[in-house]
Structure 1
Amino acid sequence: MKLLLNLVRKDFKKNKVMTLSLTVFLILSALMLAGGLRITGTLVSSLNGLNDIALPPHYLQMHKGTYDEEAISEFIKKHTYIKEAQTVKMLNVNNADFFYKEESFETSLMDNGFIIQNEKFDFLLNMKNEPAVIGPGEIGVPVYFSETLGIQKGDILKLQKDDDYKEFVVAAIIRDASMNSALASSKRFLIHQVDMEEIAQYMGEWEYMFEFLLEEGASTSLLGKDYMEEGMPANGVAITGSLLTMINGVSHGLVALIILAISMLLITMAMVCLSYIIRATLADETTTIGEMRAIGFPSKAIHQLYQTKYLLLSIVAGIIGYIGAIPFGDFLSSSVILYNGYGHGTWMEWVLPMVGTVILILMVMRRCRRILHKNLKSTTVEMMRGNGSMKKEGHYRLPVKGLRWHNMEIALGELKCKWKTYVVIFFVFVLTSFLILLPMNMKNTIENPSFITYMGIGECDIRVDIQYSENLEQQKDDIVSYLRTDEDIEKYAVYRTNFIEVKNDQDEWAYIRVEKGDASVFPLAYLEGNPPLDGQTIALSYLNASELGLQVGDHMEIKYQGEVLLFKVSGIYQDITYGGKTAKTNFDFKENNVEAYNVFLDLNTGVDIDEKTVTLRSILEDSKITPIHAFIGQTLGGISDNMALVESAAIVIALLLMMIITVMFSQLMMAREHSAIAIKKAMGFSNKDIRIQLGIRIVLVQFIGIVLGTVLAKSLGEEIFGWLLSFMGASKITMLVKPMSTYLLWPAVQIALVLVTVVGATKAVNSYHIRNQVIE
């Protein structure tokens, strides 16, 4: 064993560049794989820990307006599958009356309400994940606003309406298992009962949350069906516990999936480079291996020699990658910890990365064994003669008239006859270009205003949400009357929301959110089919259609106010809002059954969107006015921020790999072409000429690789991104790129980096001489 280890050590010293290059590839592969799994483990542990302590409801129904308390009590008693229930009173305040550092919350997309700590479940927790205790004059602020606005303990928040005024001292930053995420459009502030009674006298509107915990195995869809059928108060949205968990985890989970996808790319590159390096090493050492066999070394020992080398290499890389994944994973999961806490299943943060690292090591060894078995089949005599490494290479002729651009023509000639040698570096250049552009294109797509089409509506400038109220219809009519006379508005459309019953995949009636409005004003891009054109057709969101097993042209039963109707599916569209489960129809709902209205509008050319938003807010005080760019930014801001971190990490890793593969390949090519370089010098070529020829070959291969990588980032990247977002409700994404950075800036950066690397890596050419070649 000692002899074996000595041979391995000498081999490492002999092939320092190749060994170091492969080690870095394997370290980065292990780092990304273990890092992605660490984020996954942290996310699962954190969400479970938060839910175990906060006890979010299994079913939550929001309601505005009066209700019959006795009817609610009777409903709870009647249904034995309800384990626990409570009614939470929330005082919603106008964002224009809520201030932090003299700036109002008016620009915030969130609906902000005040509650007192719950008694039974759905607790609001402090940053120690303990139910927060708030005294008079104090307030607990959602962690969302702590992150986005920088609100910290000790800061002052102010409520002011006309002459009434109230200040609160921030006593705690709050984690809310029901409304944590930016994807949840409501946020709850925690205050004391005394303060609640005081401010309710002069501002705010009461909203109620009827929350339920169910017995083990009970169905939330059954509860929703019974609740609606028995006419319980439902002037608001209904949310299930599974949807709450999905909303809380989706932005962080998406980052984990992207990192794991990147790690798969890196592992692929590492395996390709491993194959290349082993074959190159065996080709150079064929005679030595033959001599070892001739003096009595068994084939098994030779196999063991090389396997030991790559086993040690992969173990070292795995350990370094695993250790590096700890700060790397913690950095990218810091937002998970901020919103959810550490949880109590922290073993997953350590075990999952370790399992991934072990799997990577096993993959390396399996690949190594297969390559060695395939390449050590030659006989001892063939190896000693070097026949095992003899490969036919093509030849190129110099033109009779001489070389006009001698360096270019020779480089192209050598590239043509030795193109197989460049397959590996070409493949790596393709993947590194792909690695740079994929997260970048994803981030650009999310931040583009047209991404609104993946949120269930067409492109527009401003969104008006008419809040739930007893005067809903009058409020809508007043807004429409104003919009008709506003000369700044090019077009607008009103959409009403209702709830209807459909049969789910368990053949049970369940409620879904459905929207009615003119689909031609702000058209959606449909995955299949067309928008509903009459009252007998319906379009389904992708997740709804998938869950119900329906396609365009199928018929489905719908129950509305006790009547069963037959609808035809006209189209399938993408929507990541409301858990990805929505529908659209032109069915004529009764006005007294409408749950909400949304108005979307476009402004005339030249009208500033932000300025017009301020104007509309001052006129339409009872509605929420949001520019679409702000709606996307606030709703998907957490995802976008996390994507920015992934983008930066991917760029650094890709550029580092590009440098490593260039150095490794340059060293290998110079070693293989030692005699050819010496002969060129004898023919009169300068060191500069030879280095330029090497550089032309590598950069030309890189240029083609960048082109292919860019195309793949757009085409294959759309498939990958669509697969990632399919869990949210969007399965087919059109990548939106920034042409200047995608097609000019980053290709130029990559080529410049490789040129600089080639210049440094080819300095060894200066020491090559024909005299040394003759001596050899």
Structure 2
Amino acid sequence: MYGRMIARDFTRNRSVSVVLVVLMMLSVVLATASAGTLVRLVGSSQNLMARADAPDVVQLHAGEYDPHEVDRWVAGRPEVAHDQAMLMLGIDGANLFFDGVPQTTNIQQNSLVVPNQERDLLLDLDNQPITEVEPGTIVLPVIYEVEATLAVGDPVTITADGFTKELTIAGFARDSIMNPALASSKRLVVAPGDLEEVRAHTGVVEHLVEFWMHDPGADTASFAKAYQDAGMPQAGQMVDSAGFQMITMIGDGMVAAVVILVAFLLLVVALLCLRFSVLTATEQDHREIGVLRAIGVAPRDVQRIYLTKYAVLAAIASVLGVLGGLALTPLLTRNITRYMGSVGSVWNWVVPLLTAASVFAALMLFVLVLVRRFNRVSALTAIGVGTSGGRSAAVRLRLHGSRMPVNFRLGVMNVLDRWPAYLVLLFVFVVSTFITIVPISSATTANAPGFIQYMGTGPVDLRIDLRNIDDASTAQFSRMVDQLGADPDAAAISPMVTTRNDTVDKDGNTVSLYVENGDHTRFPLTYADGRAPTVESEIALSLLALSQTGWSVGDAVSIEAGGRFRDLRIVGSYQDVTNGGKTAKAVLPTDGDEVMWYVVGVGLAQGVDIAGKAAAYSDQLAPARVADIEQWRIQTLGPIAGRLTVTAVGSALVAIALSVLMTALFTRMLLARDAGQVAIQRAVGADDGGLRRQYLTRLLLVLVLGVVVGTVAAMTLGESLFNLMFEGLFGGFESLGSGTSQIDFAVHPLLAYLALPAALLSAVALATVAASRAISAAAISTLTTE
């Protein structure tokens, strides 16, 4: 009997059942796909690090290097399991050609290396170690296959005065520590003889000093501090394994975070739609439920009928959702596979299935709570009255005397009179607007030129970097500043000297900061709090540095500079995602071994060709690296922004589909409730088109309010969620909510406030018109007299 009743209910409410299944299925699809993406991201990243035997601490050093000095020092460090140094030959972009294209605009520092044999291995696209390269060939980083569309067999040319070396691309490599675009250096693998031949004519020698710990989790931080204190070779940046992992995972992690957000919101909407469906069923089936109670059917059995019905719907949605999620996961993880490879693991299937099961359990628990209301249905009342009744709002408008069109006025009156019934639809439209605007705004923010300020760089046209290799570097920096200052094309320049300085946090731990010293008012950053330092007694810290040291703006700190500690006052805080995010701005003395590198920001005069000037400066100021700041932003953040854009488009399509489905569901349910009223209006002469306009007015009124509320929520709550994502990616879970990211959305007004709402408006209008065709079937003769 129960089976026949459930089957009859499905047949009678086929469209409602289909919409519910689709909504639940979408939430399961996205939840499953996001879980699959995360587990594959973590698994591929860890597998890449393990297969390559990535180091725990890496120190990049430019200049003279004595391996025996490091070996002697390491011999007294029991926490070190192994150490090695890799020679890297940096090639200037003007001397490096990929398939005939000079790499002058490439912001990556490309260096020739000979592959390691045991540790820090470079892997081919099958994740097999590359230990040998044929003479005359070269293996490029995989990023150049993905982003530059180079292929095996393409030529790579290295030139110098009177020297040309032709190499052929033999393959592409995955690099466990320099894989993504955010890593500013790339290793190009060649044969030993080819490297020595090129080294005799061009290139800058650097060393990658690498260390492996017995207990990386416990020893890495203390070892890094001891290495710096001992005065070991450190003319360059030091990065640990946590930094490598963060850089490797950030791009796809952001995509997964957006998908998880959309999946969660869709699940909430699905739960609300279930509630609305159950409430509607309670009202529609009130008489039937009363009859069942009257003939002795227990409340538990009545609940079982509806629980079984929704369990079947949820099960169908979950199965279809799992299949859809597993099909979608390869698309979301395509970039992960190309950069890091795929890992066959049982968790790739277990985690998505557990996620789908959790969504199914949440749906069923929610339904179980809802069907308890059937216990309150009285058999006598249900049979006698035939309706559950309901309270209408106290708001009343009069039709008489209004100058508005009658059907428009009736639609407005209905919404104001029965506004509680429209809250679910309002929430759906708010969520649809939210999951449309937030991903799109995230993508436009990452693509915006102003985003460069959140990477610790002011609004310059060109950025010129020079490493402090030896004593000659200081003189070279001075000549570079003089030459730029005398160039009429350079409207403004801002020389900066970056030093590494020690301080002590509130817990008494020693902390090393990369401090950029110079005139910070020339090309000012956007400060989250306070201002730029202007005198030697002031300093500004990045938000992550403030969080990890426990300081705040206004505190006095002691910084070691020039061999002595200086008391400085923190006058500002700013966003920075470079150099691990722990940086500072100051006006400290910059003499001595503390100098790491030099930077000059250049603002060009109006009308000067930026790309052409960058190429000219590259020739004139070598070995300094010159970057068009817009190209630097595009090449560094472009791949991440591109993946966010694709995800945002998908989210917008899901939001529009959600609005259409919910509009169709809501309209059908409204028509079911209003069947008597519609039949009466048709009987007294109301035309079908006018009745449809009433429903169109109702839903569009709710949509407009939902778009307004959703837009406000996206610009406030959505921006906060975007910053939480950055906090988690750069600082880990412990930094969530700490305020270490304060990025403002760069909203595209026409897109966010016009195009997207117009798309929602059109979709909802079409769905309403299509769903309201049932009006034509309403007639007095079909009504049942109670």
How would you bin the TM-score normalised by the shorter chain?
Answer: over 0.9
Secondary structure class of the residue paired with 1:602: strand
C-alpha separation in 2, matches of 1:61 and 1:104: 29
User: Which residue number corresponds to residue 735 of structure 1?
Assistant: 745
User: Which residue number corresponds to residue 261 of structure 1?
Assistant: 261
User: Which residue number corresponds to residue 762 of structure 2?
Assistant: 752
Instruction: Give 1:42 shift.
Output: 0.1
Instruction: Give 1:657 shift.
Output: 0.9
User: Which residue number corresponds to residue 319 of structure 1?
Assistant: 319
Aligned with 1:25 (options 20, 23, 32): 23
User: Which residue number corresponds to residue 349 of structure 2?
Assistant: 350
Secondary structure class of the residue paired with 2:75: helix
Q: Does 1:234 align with 2:244?
A: no
User: Which residue number corresponds to residue 624 of structure 2?
Assistant: 623
Against the structure 1 CA distance between its residues 397 and 70, is the aligned structure 2 distance closer, same or farther, given a 3 Å change threshold?
closer
Q: Does 1:765 align with 2:763?
A: no
Judge conservation of contact 1:458–1:523 (CA < 8 Å) in 2: yes
User: Which residue number corresponds to residue 408 of structure 1?
Assistant: 408
- Report the residue type matching 1:108 in the other structure: N
Instruction: Give 1:621 shift.
Output: 3.5
Comparing 439-448 and 417-426, the one that deviates more = 417-426
Judge conservation of contact 2:561–2:588 (CA < 8 Å) in 1: no
C-alpha separation in 1, matches of 2:190 and 2:35: 38
- Report the residue type matching 1:355 in the other structure: L
Aligned with 2:53 (options 30, 55, 58): 55
Comparing 570-579 and 187-196, the one that deviates more = 570-579
Q: Does 1:575 align with 2:576?
A: yes
Instruction: Give 1:218 shift.
Output: 4.4
Q: Does 1:300 align with 2:300?
A: yes
Instruction: Give 1:5 shift.
Output: 3.1
C-alpha separation in 2, matches of 1:198 and 1:642: 40
C-alpha separation in 2, matches of 1:195 and 1:5: 77
C-alpha separation in 1, matches of 2:401 and 2:530: 64
User: Which residue number corresponds to residue 126 of structure 1?
Assistant: 124
- Report the residue type matching 2:584 in the other structure: A
Q: Does 1:666 align with 2:667?
A: yes
Judge conservation of contact 2:562–2:592 (CA < 8 Å) in 1: no
User: Which residue number corresponds to residue 148 of structure 1?
Assistant: 147
C-alpha separation in 2, matches of 1:14 and 1:235: 76
User: Which residue number corresponds to residue 439 of structure 1?
Assistant: 439
Q: For 1:594-613, list aligned pairs within 5 A.
A: 594-613=595-614
C-alpha separation in 2, matches of 1:186 and 1:452: 19
Secondary structure class of the residue paired with 1:389: coil
Against the structure 1 CA distance between its residues 560 and 57, is the aligned structure 2 distance closer, same or farther, given a 3 Å change threshold?
farther
Judge conservation of contact 2:94–2:618 (CA < 8 Å) in 1: no
Secondary structure class of the residue paired with 1:311: helix
Instruction: Give 1:726 shift.
Output: 1.4
RMSD, aligned α-carbons:
2.0
TM-score (norm 1): 0.96
User: Which residue number corresponds to residue 158 of structure 2?
Assistant: 159
C-alpha separation in 2, matches of 1:745 and 1:8: 43
C-alpha separation in 2, matches of 1:725 and 1:417: 44
Deviation readout 1:701-748 (Å, 9 max, x if unpaired): 111111211221111111011111113265212111111111111111
Secondary structure class of the residue paired with 2:249: helix
C-alpha separation in 2, matches of 1:568 and 1:688: 71
Judge conservation of contact 1:466–1:596 (CA < 8 Å) in 2: yes
Instruction: Give 1:589 shift.
Output: 2.3
C-alpha separation in 1, matches of 2:65 and 2:753: 60
Judge conservation of contact 1:224–1:510 (CA < 8 Å) in 2: no
How many residues align? The count is 773
User: Which residue number corresponds to residue 67 of structure 2?
Assistant: 69
TM-score (norm 2): 0.95
Judge conservation of contact 2:468–2:474 (CA < 8 Å) in 1: no
Instruction: Give 1:291 shift.
Output: 0.6
Judge conservation of contact 1:134–1:190 (CA < 8 Å) in 2: yes
Judge conservation of contact 2:411–2:698 (CA < 8 Å) in 1: yes
User: Which residue number corresponds to residue 587 of structure 1?
Assistant: 588
Instruction: Give 1:397 shift.
Output: 5.8
Q: For 1:253-402, list aligned pairs within 5 A.
A: 253-343=253-343, 346-386=345-385, 389-393=388-392, 396=396, 398-401=398-401
C-alpha separation in 1, matches of 2:560 and 2:604: 38
C-alpha separation in 1, matches of 2:276 and 2:463: 56
Deviation readout 1:172-231 (Å, 9 max, x if unpaired): 210000100111000001111111111111111110111100112542222222222222
User: Which residue number corresponds to residue 3 of structure 2?
Assistant: 5
C-alpha separation in 1, matches of 2:385 and 2:565: 82
User: Which residue number corresponds to residue 110 of structure 1?
Assistant: 108
C-alpha separation in 2, matches of 1:117 and 1:206: 16
Judge conservation of contact 2:540–2:571 (CA < 8 Å) in 1: yes
Instruction: Give 1:497 shift.
Output: 0.6
Against the structure 1 CA distance between its residues 564 and 161, is the aligned structure 2 distance closer, same or farther, given a 3 Å change threshold?
same
C-alpha separation in 2, matches of 1:401 and 1:88: 88
Secondary structure class of the residue paired with 1:124: coil
C-alpha separation in 1, matches of 2:222 and 2:403: 82
Deviation readout 1:433-469 (Å, 9 max, x if unpaired): 1111111000101111111111112222221112443
C-alpha separation in 2, matches of 1:409 and 1:360: 42
- Report the residue type matching 2:292 in the other structure: M
Judge conservation of contact 1:490–1:603 (CA < 8 Å) in 2: yes
Deviation readout 1:68-113 (Å, 9 max, x if unpaired): 2321121121212110000100011111111122111111110000
Secondary structure class of the residue paired with 1:499: strand
Secondary structure class of the residue paired with 1:78: coil
Comparing 664-673 and 218-227, the one that deviates more = 218-227
Against the structure 1 CA distance between its residues 115 and 397, is the aligned structure 2 distance closer, same or farther, given a 3 Å change threshold?
closer
Q: Give the fraction of aligned pairs with identical amino acids, expressed as a percent.
A: 28
User: Which residue number corresponds to residue 451 of structure 2?
Assistant: 451
Deviation readout 1:599-644 (Å, 9 max, x if unpaired): 1122233334334333433433332222222111111122112102
Instruction: Give 1:547 shift.
Output: 1.4
User: Which residue number corresponds to residue 550 of structure 1?
Assistant: 551
- Report the residue type matching 1:4 in the other structure: Y
User: Which residue number corresponds to residue 139 of structure 1?
Assistant: 138
Judge conservation of contact 2:506–2:551 (CA < 8 Å) in 1: no
Judge conservation of contact 1:262–1:435 (CA < 8 Å) in 2: yes
Secondary structure class of the residue paired with 2:147: helix
C-alpha separation in 2, matches of 1:48 and 1:543: 25
Against the structure 1 CA distance between its residues 209 and 399, is the aligned structure 2 distance closer, same or farther, given a 3 Å change threshold?
closer
User: Which residue number corresponds to residue 480 of structure 1?
Assistant: 481
User: Which residue number corresponds to residue 534 of structure 1?
Assistant: 535
Instruction: Give 1:150 shift.
Output: 0.8
C-alpha separation in 2, matches of 1:275 and 1:153: 57
- Report the residue type matching 2:437 in the other structure: L
Secondary structure class of the residue paired with 2:707: helix
Judge conservation of contact 1:472–1:596 (CA < 8 Å) in 2: no
Q: For 1:683-694, list aligned pairs within 5 A.
A: 683-694=684-695
User: Which residue number corresponds to residue 201 of structure 2?
Assistant: 202
Judge conservation of contact 1:48–1:343 (CA < 8 Å) in 2: no
Judge conservation of contact 2:56–2:240 (CA < 8 Å) in 1: yes
- Report the residue type matching 1:358 in the other structure: A
Judge conservation of contact 2:151–2:169 (CA < 8 Å) in 1: yes
C-alpha separation in 2, matches of 1:87 and 1:97: 25
Deviation readout 1:255-291 (Å, 9 max, x if unpaired): 1111111111111111111111111111111110111
Judge conservation of contact 2:299–2:374 (CA < 8 Å) in 1: no
Judge conservation of contact 2:477–2:598 (CA < 8 Å) in 1: yes
- Report the residue type matching 2:337 in the other structure: I
- Report the residue type matching 2:280 in the other structure: A
Deviation readout 1:287-326 (Å, 9 max, x if unpaired): 1011111111111111111111112221221121111111
Deviation readout 1:725-772 (Å, 9 max, x if unpaired): 113265212111111111111111111121122222212212222333
- Report the residue type matching 1:208 in the other structure: H
C-alpha separation in 1, matches of 2:201 and 2:229: 36
Judge conservation of contact 1:157–1:170 (CA < 8 Å) in 2: yes
Judge conservation of contact 1:88–1:210 (CA < 8 Å) in 2: yes
Instruction: Give 1:507 shift.
Output: 4.2
C-alpha separation in 2, matches of 1:490 and 1:389: 77
Instruction: Give 1:556 shift.
Output: 3.3
User: Which residue number corresponds to residue 39 of structure 1?
Assistant: 37
Secondary structure class of the residue paired with 2:359: helix
Judge conservation of contact 1:32–1:263 (CA < 8 Å) in 2: yes
